[in-house]
Every structure is written in structure tokens, then in C-alpha cells.
Structure 1
């Protein structure tokens, strides 16, 4: 499962520009930033509900 959580530090998430994704200009980098942020937020929300 892709949660964007660090494998070395639990509850540390990486998303957006920090992931250093390089794509063709025209919105692909923006889409990755928004989608990775959404995935990280969804995982954080799920973890918060468990605790």
C-alpha cells in the first residue's frame, strides 16, 4: 500500500515537491503534488481515527 509514510520514522510523511518528481511541463508536477498530498492526508486521517 502506498501511504507516503517514512519507512524509518513512523508518522513522518513525504508529499509534493519534497519527493523530487520530474515530469513534462503542463500540469503533471502539479497533479503529483496534489495527489501525493491527498494520499498522505488520507493516511494521516485513517491513523488518527485508529488512535
Structure 2
């Protein structure tokens, strides 16, 4: 029984970290978009090519 509980707790924790990470990525993307960096939607910023 304890192994099942441990597994669920571990799974929940990883799920939460993933949600936090996605939230952080979305905020970073919004900041890049607002700052006028047109490469924000590619997932990574290589550099401004203007």
C-alpha cells in the first residue's frame, strides 16, 4: 500500500513542477512578445534579427 501512495505523491509532485514550468515559460514568452522580440514564438531566443 505504501508503494502506491509513494508513487502517487511522486507523480503529483512532478505534475505540479511541470505546471509551474509551463507557467514560467508562458510568462517568459509574453515578456519577449511585449518587448518586441519576434523570435518569441519559436520556443527559444536565438537573437534579434532586425
Per the normalisation by structure 2, the TM-score is: 0.51
User: What CA distance in whole angstroms lies between the structure 2 residues aligned with 1:34 and 1:26?
Assistant: 12
Stretches of structure 2 that go unaligned for 5 or more consecutive residues are: 29-50
Q: Aligned residues, how many?
A: 28
Larger radius of gyration: 2
More relative contact order, 1 or 2 (CA 8 Å, 6+ apart)? 1
Per the normalisation by structure 1, the TM-score is: 0.50
Structure 1 unaligned regions, length at least 5: 1-23
